[in-house]
Chain A
Amino acid sequence: MSNIQSQSAEQPQFYLEEDHHPEGSTNLGFWLYLMSDCLIFATLFATYAVLGRNYAAGPSPADLFDLKLVAINTAMLLFSSITYGFAMLQMERGAKQETLFWLGITGLFGLAFLGIELYEFYHMIHEGATPQRSAFLSAFFTLVGTHGLHVTFGIIWLVTLMVQVSKHGLIQENRRRLMCLSMFWHFLDVVWIGVFSVVYLMGVVG
């Protein structure tokens, strides 16, 4: 009996050595999820890189893409990244209203991005450049559409967290959730760098 007692008394030292911090493991786990998401995008990028020149006598990127629109879109996503950063800084200070304000601004920029992208898709499909038209367009809609879907779910997540924060305040759980969404949101911006470089800019250059 005394043996067990002494054993359990020694255990705390073991816990000190091991990193068993619940918040820390969430961050690492979420990071691993992002890396697996990165692999999804890698396969879609590879598909686009292989099929992106197969127009099937249909429209080419230079015919379809309006770079001014893409530039505005890129700016929207970049602004939303920095405003999310401001939200995180306010969260660190423990300022609930300011955090909610910046999260709201981030959501609006995200919605603007989605709106412009949907307008672009609508315009392309209206001109007959549907995903069925050519291998290039199939790959394009899959890649850019997957990114757009991620942004959509990011906005849903953002609104959910805004409700949570306004109801329960900046408690430990909400801070952890905001941290995860922060990583997700910035990750989507990183993927968008690949999209505008590889799909839009290199597509127009030819």
Chain B
Amino acid sequence: MTTNSTSHEDAHEAHHGHSHGHEAGHGSFKSYMTGFVLSVILTAIPFWLVMGDVLDSKVATIAAIMIIGAIQIVVHMVYFLHMNTKSEGGWTMMALIFTVIIVAIALIGSLWVMHHLNSNMMVMSPEMMKNLP
């Protein structure tokens, strides 16, 4: 039993050293600064678009805000949260993909259902009132 526990610890030690090797993905000064500079640029652009009234079309402005926002989220994930496909044997990435799917279903589903509900809630005319069963 003692041999077991010591070799168990050895295994731990070995794994520990190993994990420090590939968890160097904690980030370096350079990667944090890259993420920071990218985030500043990606934050400044949408604020400039809206505050400076740069684009004529509302739809184009909203599309730009959403696309730049999505890019900035990815930048934060990679440079600040150190997301990659390898950490925890890929399970963090799996959890993230699952969450993104659920979030998409919740957002798109809610908007879709409520939009149809709104379009079907027409104001009733007196004619329609009369024809009610």
Contact = CB atoms under 8 A, between A and B. Distances in A.
A19 B92 CA distance: 14
B80 A39 contact: no
Contact of A205 (B8, B16, B35, B62): B62
A118 interface: no
Interface residues on A, range: 35 or more
Contact of A85 (B7, B14, B32, B40): B32
Given A16-B11, A46-B110, A86-B32, A24 B40 contact: no
Contacts of B35: 82, 85
Interface string A164-203: 0000000000000000000100110110011011100110
Nearest to A7: B4
Interface string A83-120: 00110110010000000000000000000000000000
A82 B36 CA distance: 6
Contacts of B98: 35
A57 interface: no
If over half of A's interface residues share one DSSP class (helix, strand or loop), that class is named, otherwise mixed; here it is helix
Contacts of B88: 19, 24, 27-28, 31
Interface in A33-57: 35, 38-39, 42-43, 45-47, 49-50
Interface of A: 8-9, 11-12, 15-16, 19, 21, 23-24, 27-28, 31-32, 35, 38-39, 42-43, 45-47, 49-50, 67-68, 70-71, 74-75, 78, 81-82, 85-86, 88-89, 92, 183, 186-187, 189-190, 193-194, 196-198, 201-202, 204-206
